[in-house]
Amino acid sequence: MRSMAMSTREAAVTSVTYVPSRRPRALAWWSGAASVVLLGLVAARWEPLTATDRAVADATHASAVDSPVLVRISLVLTDWVWDPWTMRAFVAVAAVVLWRRGERWVAGRLAAVAVGAAVAQQALKAVVGRDRPRWPDPVDSAHFAAFPSGHAMTAAVTCGLLWWAAAVAGRRTAATGATRPRRAAAAGPASVRWAAAAAAASVRRAAGRMSARTVAVVGAVSAVGVGLTRVYLGVHWLSDVVGGWLMGACLAAAAAAVPVRLAATGRAARRP
């Protein structure tokens, strides 16, 4: 009877539902609204916007022509480090790792949003059909239409998704750690085992928060950095990059705003 009761308690905590705060929902709404407004202005060829784009493009291109070293660095970053396929590879690896850890819902959402973002990006490029900047002395070249920037959009949605996955993993650790002190107290001398288990749980929660913050910082640098390289290399207008940032942030925030089921105790809880 006692072992059956313990199995019942363990089964009860093998999954929890992670309910996010209101911030992702608000970010999704605001970035989505801003994306729609910017899309309308680009489609209408609003003169103040096109003038700003041209002024920024002229200034950055003049600087790039005179700075071959910075151009080479920017090419390495944009074509390899922050390339859309590199970003998608990060999502694929994260999805596989989460799937193997039993986080099927989180892994599935990562993959679905990443694929959806790629499809939406190409569809918008085809519909808007905006020309890229053209130069008599280009320092780089690119294919397909300009709006939105695929590099900026992919970086924004990828980094947002990875931050969300790291935050969810931290919540899973907290849920797992919350059950372990109770088991330790029931297994032996209460004071020592409880203190050790509680301390270990605190360390795991702190590590989870640190991991999410690290992903957030690296992701922000990557998303901003790749957008700036696209403008600097003269293959995108500034509004292309801003549109990519907004749309990527909208998709990532929308994914993070929906509650998700977590496997609270992981593989260890499924062992007999």
CA distances 209 to 144, 168, 202, 216, Å, are 40, 10, 11, 11
- Are 222 and 159 in contact by the 8 Å Cβ rule? The answer is yes
Asked if 117 contacts 154 with a C-beta cutoff of 8 angstroms, the reply is: yes
> Would you write out the chain's pLDDT as a tens digit for each of its 272 residues?
334 343 344 444 455 666 677 889 999 999 999 999 999 999 999 999 999 999 999 999 999 999 999 999 999 999 999 999 999 999 999 999 999 888 888 999 999 999 999 999 999 999 999 999 999 999 999 989 999 999 999 999 999 999 999 888 776 655 544 444 444 444 456 555 555 444 444 444 544 556 778 888 999 999 999 999 999 999 999 999 999 999 999 999 999 998 877 765 544 333 33
Give 32-59 pLDDT, tens digit per residue. Answer: 999 999 999 999 999 999 999 999 999 9
Q: Of 28, 263, 259, whose CA–CA distance to 160 is shortest?
A: 28
* Cβ within 8 Å of residue 44, ≥6 positions away: none
φ/ψ bin of 129: left (φ > 0), alpha (ψ from -120 to 50), beta (otherwise): left
Residue 153 and residue 117 in contact, taking contact as beta carbons nearer than 8 Å: yes
Distance of CA 155 to CAs 83, 142, 223, 226, Å?
8, 17, 5, 8
The secondary structure of residue 266, as a DSSP letter, is: T
DSSP string, 49-100: HHHHHHHHHHHHHHHHHT-HHHHHHHHHIIIIIS-HHHHHHHHHHHHHHHHH
211: amino acid identity, one letter: S
**pTM score:** 0.82
User: Do 176 and 265 touch, CB atoms closer than 8 A?
Assistant: yes
* 3-class secondary structure, 17: strand
